[in-house]
Amino acid sequence: MPRKKIMTIFGTRPEAIKMAPLVKALEAGEAFHCVVAVTAQHREMLDQVLDLFEIKPDHDLDIMQANQTLFDVTCKALTGLKSVLEEEKPDLVLVHGDTTTTFVASLASFYLQIPVGHVEAGLRTGNKRSPFPEEMNRKLTGSIADLHFAPTTTSRENLLREGVNPETIFVTGNTVIDALLQTVRPDYPFTGPDLRNIDFANHRVLLVTTHRRENLGEPMRQIYLGLKEIIERYPDVLVVFPVHKNPKVRAVVEEVLGGLKRVRLIEPLDYQPFINLMNKSHLVLTDSGGLQEEAPSLGKPVMVLRDTTERPEAVVAGTVRMVGTDRQKLVESVSELLSSPGAYRSMANAVNPYGDGQACRRIIQSLLFYFDKNAVRPVDFAVK
Ligand code: UD1
Ligand code: UDP
């Protein structure tokens, strides 16, 4: 019997990181023929991940342009994917998460009546404008998808509340934990110029990332002003900030934090040094989604620079705190952790609500079950 053809479609850094272990697992197995298409909604930041995991896309739409709008990404990806899907005729398309590439790839597949599997399904804030446009991207993708790979029972419940057929939902854990466990090393040597001179022994490193569309402009300025105050208050604090390539982020970062002594503004790091830097950091400040999953598993407290989160599990577990973008609240919350060892200890617990490193295995078993190649439905991921 011919192997079923699975096409994975992704376009940005986080999708690539979270799909990479799945692509590798599909390629390593005999059961499926795996084809990779990238929109390249991101370019350099995507290529960093493709290089690291040695993934050579079969199709690369190369759509990124500077200061692209949602319309640019949507239109270019939709048109480009039409040709790719018509040529390849996959038996199923796998998309990931909540980017515009994710939604558009689902829509293109739906128009061509190709089944869609949604990896990292069911995350919700309940607010269609926050994060923007991701909440809507994932809801629309969820409406189209035929298979839902929910990372946690919370995300499964979100889907059930929206009327999704329970037979089509598989709780798998998040593939980001598969990627992380394959990457983190206690003895990782920092050889790159940005990290090799960091004196971890005498500094508390605050790892910072920001990029959310709804934070662009004034909210980001307030975050950076808050950071500046923290640096002035605590002489042993060193901020390491790999700055997202978005020119709108870069302009404000440079304006507020440029030239400050204990601030390292650096280029986006490759995933390997980035994760190992996180492992050596004291605290993480971020508006990223993925970092909210990675840091808890390394026992690093996270201050989330957003008003909403679709990842409540680590907030409940106590390692993640929502602080928003208010400058004063940020300074107070971070100061509390930097001044009180007890407060820090209460947050710095390694918890793994998002996965156990077996998500890819469960997704592949679910695909085998879907295609009637395996009679047994895989057992759902549950937190131990
Ligand atoms: C996108 C996703 C967001 C995801 C984020 C991860 C959408 C609408 N947004 O947001 O969900 O959390 O990626 O980082 O899908 N740029 C480069 N080189 C790169 C990448 C980006 O120069 O490798 C610059 C370009 O000028 C580009 C801009 O950044 O136009 C914004 O990229 P875009 O993908 O539109 O938005 P992100 O904020 O990265
Ligand atoms: N990351 C990276 N290098 C960096 C910053 C982040 O490899 O300099 C990784 C990080 O480990 C995580 C992912 O990028 O897996 C998060 O991407 P981002 O914050 O851009 O997107 P989000 O998760 O918010 O969608």
Taking only the tens place, the pLDDT of each residue in 233-253 is 999 999 999 999 999 999 999
- Distance in angstroms (rounded) separating the CA atoms of residues 202 and 292: 26
Q: Cite the DSSP H helix spans in the chain.
A: 13-28, 44-53, 70-88, 100-111, 134-144, 153-161, 175-181, 218-233, 247-257, 271-280, 290-297, 313-317, 327-339, 341-347, 359-370
- Give the integer Cα–Cα distance in Å for 148 and 142: 7
Nearest atom, ligand 1, residue 211 CA: 38
Average pLDDT of 218-245? 98
The closest residue, in CA terms, to atom 13 on ligand 1 is: 12
Express each pLDDT in 23-51 by its tens digit. 999 999 999 999 999 999 999 999 999 99
Residue nearest to atom 9 of ligand 1 (CA): 99
Its sign, for the CA torsion 34, 40, 42, 44, is positive
Of 367, 363, 359, residue with least CA distance to 115: 367
- β-strands 147-150, 169-171 pairing: parallel
* Nearest ligand, measured from the Cα of 18: 2
Mean pLDDT score, 171-180: 98
From the CA of 7, how far away is ligand 1's center (Å)?
A: 23
Q: In what order do the strands lie in the sheet with 283-286?
A: 263-266, 237-242, 204-209, 283-286, 302-304, 320-322
- pLDDT > 70 fraction of the chain, expressed in percent and rounded: 100
Q: Is 274 in the pocket of ligand 2 (CB under 6 A)?
A: yes
What does the pLDDT look like over 323-359, one tens digit per residue?
999 999 999 999 999 999 999 999 999 999 999 999 9
Residue pair 308/131 in contact (Cβ under 8 Å)? The answer is: yes
Residue 384 pLDDT: 83
Per-chain mean pLDDT for the chain: 97
State yes or no: pLDDT of 1 exceeds 80.
no
Q: Which pLDDT band, with edges at 50, 70 and 90, does 2 fall under?
A: confident
Q: Find the mean pLDDT for residues 115-142.
A: 98
pTM: 0.98
